[in-house]
Amino acid sequence: MERKARHVPQRTCIVCRAKKAKRDLHRMVVISGNIEWDKFNRLPGRGAYVCKHPDCIRGLEAMWNLQRFFRKSSAKLVKDTVEQMQKNLNQVHTTKPQE
């Protein structure tokens, strides 16, 4: 076979619409009405993806397109979800110990 062996699955960021490798995105799923971060890529169900970028994570807070994506107008983005992602970003960029 001539095909390149390594196929990287791509997903679209729902905020900026860029296509990226799955590992460069955060996955979210709806759990009992709440949109939560699937931190370890383990949760079942339909996922939405967002870049590991502060601008995109902040963009999540304008959540109308999230709800549309999940087709659940009742799905709520938990504030924690955004905060956890932002915290995670900070950890990646600076390994400053917490006070």
Name the one range near Zn ion by CB under 5 A: 16-24, 40-48, 68-76, 84-92. 16-24
Interaction of residue 51 with Zn ion, rule CB under 5 A:
yes
Considering only residues 77-96, where is the footprint of Zn ion by CB under 5 A?
none
Interaction of residue 30 with Zn ion, rule CB under 5 A:
no
Among residues 56, 75, 77, 82, the one that binds Zn ion under rule CB under 5 A: 56
Name the one range near Zn ion by CB under 5 A: 3-11, 29-37, 56-64, 75-83. 56-64
83-86, long-range: CB < 8 A, 24+ apart:
84/37, 84/39, 85/26, 85/37, 85/50, 85/52, 85/57, 85/60, 86/54, 86/57, 86/58
Strand ranges across the sheet with 76-77:
48-51, 25-31, 34-37, 76-77
Interaction of residue 62 with Zn ion, rule CB under 5 A:
no
Query: Which residues contribute to the site for Zn ion (CB under 5 A)?
Result: 13, 15-16, 51, 56
